[in-house]
Amino acid sequence: MADADDVRQLALALPHVVEIESDGFDFRVAGQGFVWSYPERRPGMPRLIRTDVAVLYVGDEAEKQALLLGEPELFFTTPAYDGFPLVMLRLTPVSVDRLEELVTDAWRMRAPDSLTSDHDSTVR
């Protein structure tokens, strides 16, 4: 079972990650967001920052659909995210190991090649 603290720890362990001030969590590399708290939009009400749900950058529509169809207990989307390579991840049912994989993959897709190759060579 994972939570916002796990997201924070995993994201900040990656090279050149900065946390943007927010009501939840918001992490970027080279100015590009890769994981942040889900800003739930509710009709007629202010949006609610959900720290129990992470928005993850997934790269493309094919990967998005594979995650949504393959693991619907973990991933979902909303019409506001149609056309964007982003999925929402329910943190409670995901293991920390799986979360690490997802956060690292999102970081890898947003980080410059020089950072990812440096990171990959130190992890091996």
pLDDT at 114: 79
Enumerate the domain spans of the chain. Answer: 4-113
Query: What's the CATH fold of domain 4-113?
Result: Aspartate Aminotransferase, domain 1 (3.90.1150)
Residue 115 pLDDT: 74
pLDDT along the chain (124 residues), means of 10: 96 96 95 96 92 96 96 95 96 97 96 71 53
Look at the block and give the residue holding tokens 């970027």.
28
Helices 4-12, 96-110: crossing angle, 10 deg rounding: 50
Distance, C-alpha 116 to centroid of its chain: 17
Residue 59: both structure tokens together: 């790269």
Taking the C-alpha atoms of residue 95 and residue 111, their distance in angstroms, rounded to an integer, is: 24
Residue holding tokens 């990171």?
Answer: 119
Q: What's residue 42's pLDDT?
A: 87
- Between CA 37 and CA 55 the distance in angstroms is 6
Scan for tokens 């995210």, then name that residue: 81
51's tokens: 């720290």
On whether the pTM is more than 0.85, the answer is yes
